[in-house]
Each structure stands twice: as C-alpha cells, then as structure tokens.
Structure 1
Amino acid sequence: MDWQRSLLIGAMLVVLYMLFLEWNTFQEAHKPQPDNSMVEALVPETPDLTPAAESASDLPEVVVDSNTPQTPTLSVEPTKSRLVTITTDVLKVIVDTHGGDIVRIELLKHLTELENSTDPFILLNRTATTTYIAQSGLIGPNGTDTSKNRPIFAATSDSFSIAADQQSLQVDMTYQQGAVSIIKRYTLNRGDYLLDVSYLVDNKSDQPWKAALFGQIKRDSHQPQATNGMGMSPYLGAALRTTEENYKKLDFEDLQKEAFKENLTGGWVAMIQHYFISAWVPDQTAVNHFNLRKLGNQDLYALGFTSPQIDVAPGTTGELKASFYAGPKDQYRLEEISPYLDLTVDYGWLWWVAKPIFWVLYHIQGLIGNWGWSIILLTVLIKLAFFKLSATSYRSMANMRKLQPEMARLKDLYGDDRQKLSQETMNLYKREKVNPMGGCLPILVQMPVFISLYWVLFESVELRHAPWILWISDLSVKDPYFILPLLMGASMFVQMRLNPTPPDPTQAKIMQMMPIAFTFFFMFFPAGLVLYWTVNNLLSIAQQWVITRQIEGAPAKK
C-alpha cells in the first residue's frame, strides 16, 4: 500500500538525516587540535619537571582524628625531584619522585599512527599546556601529602626495565617521615597494563601512625587526537560504579555543575576515551569513598578515591594498596580486574546483544588470525541465523513485485476512487495470499543486531590498526580509496532493483537516490563496518535473487 511505502521512505530519510547530524557533530568535535600528548612537535622528550602547585582543593579531604598527634610533612624543595622511568614489554611509565605521581604512560604495543611505526601511543602525559596524570598519596593525621607539601621520594636509579627472564618488575621509592620509614612500591607484570601501587609503612616511632590512601586521576578537558572515521562521537569523560548503577558516566560538563561523591565497597573510577582507559581500582574488600570534582576555576578535574584509614602501632608495619590500569579497553581483562569495569567498553543499551556478538567475533579471530576475514565469517553466521526471517521478507517482496502489473491495472481502473482502489487492492492481497507488511517486520526484527554490530566494530580496540588485505591496512578508519563504499553502493543498487518498484514516480526516484546517499555517508565510516554491510548486501542479493526467480517462475494461481 502507498502509505506503507511512504512510511518506509520517510523512515529512511529520517535515518539519513540523523546520520548527517551525527557526521556534522563528529566533525565539529574532532577538528584537528594541537594535542601535546600526541603531536611530536609539541611534546618534549620528557614530561615537564616543574610540579604544579597544589591547592587545598587538589587533594581529597579526610576526617582528622583530633586525638592523634599530627606529624608534619617535611618541607622540601620541588627542584630536588626527578623522573624515574619504568619499562616493561607493554608499558613505559614515568614517575615523578615529587609525590611519586605517574606523569606519563606510553603504550608500547599501540602506535599513535599506523604510518609512523616508531611512536607509541601516549595515554597519560604532563606538559606545559596539558595535564593528564595519576596521583596517589597518604592523607590524614600522619599523612605525607597535604595541600602545601608533597613528599620527595628517593629512588636507587633513574631507570628500571623488566628483564627477559622476569615476569614482574618491582620498583621501590623511599621516604623518611621522622622515625617512620615509608616505601612507595610500583609492581608491574609482563604483558599487563595493570600497575599495583602500595605503601609499606614501618613505624619505628613510639606513637601510633594513622593515614589513609588516596588515588586520583587529574586531567584537563583537552580532546585526544582525532581518528579518521564517522559515526557516534566517542565518549570522553569519567565513569564509575555506584550503589545504584553498575556503570555511571559523568562528563566534564556534569562535573562543572556539581561534584559527585559516593561510598562503596570495592568499586573503581575511570577516565574514558575512544579505545583507551585509565582507572583507579582500590581495595575491593574495603568501603572506599569516591569523589569526582572540578578543581576550582582551573580547567582541571580530579576523579579519585580515598580508602579507609589504617592504624600502624609503634614497632609494627602496615600496608596500603590499590591498582591503576592504563591501557586499551580489553573487556575480558577489565572484567578480571573489578566487577563491571568491562562496561567501560560501552556498547550502549543493546550491550546484551553486542557482547555475544563480540564474543563470537573474538573467537573467530582467534582461529583465523585476521579481523577482516573474521568480520566476513561473522556476517555469514548472522545471515544464517536470520535466514528464515530474511526468506520470509524476500518472498513477500517477490510476491509484491509479481503483483505489480495487476496493481497498475487497478490503479488505471480506480485511480479516481481511492476507497474503491484500496478495497480492490486488499482483495488482491487476500486472493494472492500476500502480506504487504511481510517484507518489513523481519527487517525490523534484525535491526537490533545491526545496531549492536555497529557498536561492536566502533568500540573494539582490537580493530584499531588491524589490517585486512591489500589497501585496507586499518579496519577502524575509512577506506582510503573508497573502494568498499563504492562496492557497497553498487550492491545496494542491485538489491533495490530486486525490490518491487514504487507505483508513484516521485517515490521511485527517491528510492533510486538511496544507494547514492548511503554510498556518500559510508565513505566516512570505518572500513570494518562497511565491509560487514557490503558482505551482508551481497549475501542478501544472492538469497533474494533465488527466491524472486522461484516465485516469478511459478505458474499463476487460478
């Protein structure tokens, strides 16, 4: 019926309009910007050594026990601090001895750009104009960190590297607080992006020692380097687990309006960007206090936690510890680290469909070893899963196409009488046992799978810089020669030729323009998504062609 066809065309136009809006938003949000954490010309070989002045709002607050004597932090000159480099097979971490903060992290297995195979991706960095660092320290009655002073740790060397026969690397930095000896220890494991951070306290004084561990990500709102591609604008901002939500997002605008505080057993707090994440994971057995806030009038935000205070009796030792993850959004590794941390691989509200799809794709790739061929095989499996539904849709379309001459005759006879035309058309459908909506409903059922697969291909860091064949060297960005989008457009044109032609000339022209419009938009989509769509179209054409020939070749009903 005409109104049904008009509804479908209207829906497709709305989709095209929404895609254009998303493209425009994406382009505006990802205009090339000087990014001091990425662009070699603006990044010094080493981070800025000058520690930023800490204000009262920079460090988390802690309840002070008035009965516990305060041990003042020894005042030190910031110029005495130095940088310590810790290197494993996957990470290069630079720690400033002033506070023992992580001021730069390079991901050695991930490149900034595929064309430049020597520059690793820089996730955290402190430069003269940008800030993205991981801080940790001790606050409270006997804490070493205050709004005016941070401790200066001593290290035995400026450089530590994991040996070929080592599975883990342990780096100790020491600080003497009167009669209390404190070791800040970083533990890194081979092949892992998780760092264990612990404070070992040896209380040789005659007074109890009390303090709490804090950890926070301190970052400005600069956008990471843009990637080529079109789609939903990647989320940039904070996320954490709360008592009410397993995955709560708070972007910079949210934190500008008000701070967010939460008490939770275990938990985590993270800074998320496309493909990569940094996250503090405190003691999972303790009740931790989380505090996310904007720091004064600066373009700086703190996302952190404070663990419960511990008491170290005179002559005894104590330990405070947490973990810090900085690396790719590997959902299976994140799932092992803390409950629901894997939700930072954000598949949207259809995550319950997307996660099984990724599971299948991941295991196919484990067998084949190529993400491009894995996408093709996944497309075949999805097509097989919906084979019967698709067949129902194509039979309905083929039957409608077969009835076109008779429908044209009815329009010539009753074109001036819409009521009579509608009545005769419905009688024709009943007589031929054709359901005009039969071609629409099966497609609607499959839409959640299509949308979920889009998010899988968009969010999966595994596809970043993953090659397929020939000119496709990166499935996460657009086809450099636009060959796949053109093939997709051609396949869409062939597929539409198999569908019944709309009786209205205007509708027919709009339908003919659809392949051109979709080709234009798909030129900016990641090659992996275009590959899926192209293969799906080719499989659909084969199935629809066979069904159409069978129905059109069948003898007419008497």
Structure 2
Amino acid sequence: MPSQQAAVVAKPSADPASVPVPVAAVAPGAGVAQVPASPAAPAAARERLEVSTDVLKLTFDTEGGSLVRSELLKQVDMADKSRNFVLLDDSKERVYMAQTGLIAGAGATGAALPSHKTLMSVVPGERSLKDGANELVVRFESPDVGGVKLVKTYTLARGAYVMNVKHEAVNTGAAAVSPQLYLQLVRDGNKPPGESSFYSTFTGPSVYTEAKKYQKVEFKAIEENKVEIEKHATNGYVAMVQHYFASAWLLGDGIQRDLFMRKVDTNLYAVGMITPLDSIAPGASKSVEARMFVGPQLEKTLEATATGLELVKDYGWVTILAKPLYWLLDKLHGVIQNWGWSIVALVLLLKIAFYWLNAKAYASMAKMKAINPRITEMRERLKDKPQEMQQAMMKIYREEKINPMGGCFPIMIQIPVFIALYWVLLSSVEMRNAPWALWIHDLSSPDPFYILPVVMALTTMLQTSLNPAPPDPLQAKMMWFMPLAFSVMFFFFPAGLVMYWITNNALSIAQQWLINTRMGVPPKFHLPKF
C-alpha cells in the first residue's frame, strides 16, 4: 500500500441511525501509512452496550469498542429538565464519539490492523457499578486482523468522570510488527443545542503541551487547512470543548505522541494523537495506558486530573484575574451554600476592595456636577467662538482643580476585574440549574419573567442620571443611548450575570450618593433631552 500523510477516510453507513466516521487519522508529517477499514461485519452481529456508574451512563459500540454516548447523571438537560444531559452522542441529530485503534508504523505497508471499524467481542462482566464496589471494568477483544489482536479495557471509578483505558496489542503472527495506537475524538461542527447567540463561548478542538501550552482551533480553521498546533510532544492532551463540558484523551508524560486535527467528512472533524508501540515480537504483546475524561468543567476536578486540563474552562486573556476570582467565589459558596448569594457577596467584597478608587472617581464627578451651571452658561455665551470657549473651559477646570478624566481613570482600572468576573460566571458549570431565591431556579438561564433585566435597566438609568451631564448635547444623548442598548442585551443573559450587574450598580449608586452628599453636592437626577 502506498504511504500517505494525514490519511483520513470517511464513509456513510447504510444504517440510518449511524453516521460517517473516520477510518484512520494521522498527524501531518507523521509518515504513517493509511490503514484500510476492517472487513465489514454482518449488521446483526453489531451491538451496543450500556454501562453505568453513579455519575455516568455510557454506551459503547462493539464496532471498534468505541464510546458513542455519555449521559451525565448529575447534570440535567436544560432544554428538558426531566432528562440527564448527554455529551457524547451518535444519533441523527448529533455526532460526537471517542474512537481508538491501530494503524501501521511509519513507512510500513501490509494488511490492515484492528481499528475502530473492526467488530469486537465483549468479555462478560458487570454492566453497572454495584453498591460497595469502586470500579467497573468493560473489556473488548478484536479478532486477529493482520496478525494483530487488540484488547481494549475501560476501567470506570465511582464518582469519577475520568476512566482508565488500556490498549494491549498482541502479535498473533509469525513476524514482528510495529503498530501505532491512535486516540481520537470525532465531532460535528454544530454549536451545542440551546447555545445563546448573545454571548460567545468556544466550541471545538484543543490541544495542550508543555511547549505551546493551551491551543484551541475553530472548526473553520480546520476547514480552511489553517491549523497551527504543536505536532509532536511527549506530554499533554487533546480535547473537544464546549460551553460547560469537555472530553479529552490523556497520555502519561514521557510517551511520544503526534497530535492532529483533521476534517473527516462534511461537517465532521477529528482531534487526536498517535503513539508508536515499537516492535512487537511474534507471540508477545505491548500495552499503552491512557485515560479519557468526559464530563463537566469543574475546575478543581480538572486540575486534579491532569496538568493544564483546567484550561478547557477558557477565561481567555483575563485568566490571570479570573482564576483567583473563581477561587474566592468557590470559598464564599462553601460558607453561604448558595451560588446566587455568593455572587452578591463577591461583588460586595470587590466594591470594598475598590472603595477608594471609586471614591476618587465619584468625587471628581461631584466636582464636575457642581460647576456644570458655569460650564453651561459659558458654552451658551461663547457658542459662536469655539476656540475661546475651549480656553474658558480649561480655565474653569484649572481654577477648580478638576481633571475632566478624573472620574474615568479609576473606573477604567477596575474594568478588567469585572470582565474577568463576567467570564467566571459565564464559564462556571456550577451555575447550571443552581437556584438563587424566589422565581430564579437556574442562574445559567435567562430570568423567565424578565424581572431582573428590568431592574438592571432601571438601576443603569438611575446611575446614569446621577452622573454629571456632558456639556456637549450629542455626548449627553450618547450617554443615555449606550446604557439603554446595553440593558436590552441583558434580557438574554443568564440570571447570574444580571444579578452581578444589578448588585454592582446598586452599590455604585449608594457610594456615589454618599460621596455627593458629603461633598455638599446634593444628588440630583437629570433626564435626557432628545
């Protein structure tokens, strides 16, 4: 067989319940020969096996021993809360599977080896985790294909979203073989069902290595063949990521692997890695221990599972601020035991931390408000002399020792912190189905009665009306249009995020009112003039 780089083949199944899957996938430049699909098995012989622990219900396909469905028993489906959330799936609506198999070594030619298209047999055993048991073992064995037999053993643990997966290649032939093991995640390029278009979260493949750290790639970049990732490593993982959830293949440090991302078929993509098993003598065997994570992006769980795995919970450029904020939020929840009130408490602590910065900003605004009548009179008097007007305005500012930007700078310093908190609340799976009080039963979904967004809009307008009106009429109008437009967006935002902004607004109004009163500038509301 001729050698071919990045050999990925997809073929649709005649079975309408199945979907196209890749036959083999290798990293560009890896120089691994394409392995043909295993001989097709009779449709009646193929079956699906369901196993369950206390947190996972998994479905395996005897074709390749692939994991084709994962139901998370501790997470509800937000579209239908009577059902559990399904992450991996192989149905007419969605394709998302974990596949493994063997391909020939670099530059090798010859017969096909057991792949994820090979029909395997299941070793009899328990199919659910019994009371008192801590482990559940599921074992698949392939027939002899190309002089090699593949034994695949999944070991699931109580309370764990990560499973051990052992691949043992047995040389049943008369000559030495040098196969390679591939581990891949195959997924369609669709956004998760119910994903809001008003805030953007990443869906797609990612890789992590010590050299290049966390790299995520959009499906569009794979489509356009613009994938730039670390191709070779001895550490790290490959993953498929979406809002709140992820799956990942993990190999131990020190094991050589080639990483790849490929388009498998129309709207079907793969991310994976390939590791060589070296030469296996006749009658001998070699095994590779891997792990697979399938579950929610619980930060402490991810950190304990593998180095860098917590990065699938992607905070972007505000990670350095978001991580300590999440830590503090988690500690508050440990005391308060309610995520909604924990959000309120966290914003209160941030307001206390930034009290003096805000005080300077509001003091500057109060001074601006106090001289507003003088500015307005001067602008009216010199409206036909713009240069003289500008000079007169600067003179007033100097006399009153006012910096026009004094109210903005202290607030701008805090913006990255509050953006980081926004991403913490948006990214944390703990908010899913988490109640606050009264009618708010899920902090990750919009307020069903739109009460919080209305309150958010009112507090935003109240805060705007307390600020000094800009002398320029156009600026004064924009000062109202921006918060109003911003408030409309919050009708589609999760309740937890809206709560955070309401709390921030309310505390800002209270502090501004207090400072204005102390400075002898009574709080006065001004309405827009359109």
| Range class of TM-score, shorter chain | 0.7 to 0.9
**2:208 corresponds to:** 241
CA gap of 1:53–1:433, structure 2 versus 1, over 3 A, is closer
| 231-240 or 405-414, larger mean C-alpha shift | 405-414
> Counterparts of 2:255 and 2:512 in 1: how far apart (Å)?
59
**2:251 corresponds to:** 282
Paired residue type of 2:151: I
**1:25 corresponds to:** none
Show the 5 A alignment for 1:222-261.
222-227=190-195, 229=196, 231-242=198-209, 245-258=212-225, 260=227
1:100 matched to 2:65? The reply is: yes
**2:12 corresponds to:** none
> Counterparts of 2:222 and 2:474 in 1: how far apart (Å)?
50
> Counterparts of 1:473 and 1:55 in 2: how far apart (Å)?
42
Show the 5 A alignment for 1:367-516.
367-516=335-484
CA gap of 1:310–1:433, structure 2 versus 1, over 3 A, is same
Paired residue type of 2:73: L
Q: Among all aligned residue pairs of Structure 1 and Structure 2, give the percentage whose two residues are the same amino acid.
A: 38
The question of whether the paired residues in 2 share the 8 Å contact of 1:49 and 1:83 is answered with no
Q: 1:462 is paired with a residue of what secondary structure? A: helix
The question of whether the paired residues in 1 share the 8 Å contact of 2:120 and 2:142 is answered with yes
Show the 5 A alignment for 1:26-105.
76-105=41-70
Shift of residue 513, structure 1, vs aligned partner: 4.4
Partner deviation per Cα, 1:128-172 (whole Å, 9 max, x = no partner): 45421110122226874259x614223315x61111212221222
Partner deviation per Cα, 1:26-85 (whole Å, 9 max, x = no partner): xxxxxxxxxxxxxxxxxxxxxx797667665567798679xxxx9x97874353121111
**1:264 corresponds to:** 233
**2:138 corresponds to:** 171
> Counterparts of 1:321 and 1:140 in 2: how far apart (Å)?
19
1:153 matched to 2:125? The reply is: no
Structure with the bigger percentage of helix: 1
> Counterparts of 1:492 and 1:52 in 2: how far apart (Å)?
50
> Counterparts of 2:497 and 2:101 in 1: how far apart (Å)?
44
The question of whether the paired residues in 1 share the 8 Å contact of 2:26 and 2:273 is answered with no
The question of whether the paired residues in 2 share the 8 Å contact of 1:51 and 1:78 is answered with no
1:132 matched to 2:101? The reply is: no
Q: 1:523 is paired with a residue of what secondary structure? A: helix
CA gap of 1:86–1:431, structure 2 versus 1, over 3 A, is same
Paired residue type of 1:237: G
RMSD of equivalent CA atoms: 3.0
**2:508 corresponds to:** 540
CA gap of 1:259–1:436, structure 2 versus 1, over 3 A, is closer
Paired residue type of 1:106: E
The two structures have a TM-score, normalised by structure 1, of 0.81
> Counterparts of 2:503 and 2:240 in 1: how far apart (Å)?
36
Paired residue type of 2:412: L
Paired residue type of 2:218: D
The question of whether the paired residues in 1 share the 8 Å contact of 2:338 and 2:435 is answered with yes
Shift of residue 205, structure 1, vs aligned partner: 6.5
CA gap of 1:78–1:267, structure 2 versus 1, over 3 A, is farther
| 193-202 or 539-548, larger mean C-alpha shift | 193-202
The question of whether the paired residues in 2 share the 8 Å contact of 1:478 and 1:527 is answered with yes
Shift of residue 504, structure 1, vs aligned partner: 4.0
> Counterparts of 1:372 and 1:64 in 2: how far apart (Å)?
53
Determine which of 102, 120, 136 is the counterpart of 2:84: 120
CA gap of 1:393–1:92, structure 2 versus 1, over 3 A, is same
**How many residue pairs were aligned?**
498
Paired residue type of 1:102: L
Partner deviation per Cα, 1:94-146 (whole Å, 9 max, x = no partner): 111111011111111111127x4431111111124542111012222687425
> Counterparts of 1:175 and 1:411 in 2: how far apart (Å)?
86
CA gap of 1:129–1:440, structure 2 versus 1, over 3 A, is closer
> Counterparts of 2:450 and 2:18 in 1: how far apart (Å)?
48
**1:38 corresponds to:** none
CA gap of 1:80–1:511, structure 2 versus 1, over 3 A, is same
> Counterparts of 1:189 and 1:176 in 2: how far apart (Å)?
28
Partner deviation per Cα, 1:237-271 (whole Å, 9 max, x = no partner): 11112575312222222112227571111221111
Shift of residue 364, structure 1, vs aligned partner: 1.2
**1:111 corresponds to:** 76
Shift of residue 547, structure 1, vs aligned partner: 0.7
Shift of residue 469, structure 1, vs aligned partner: 0.6
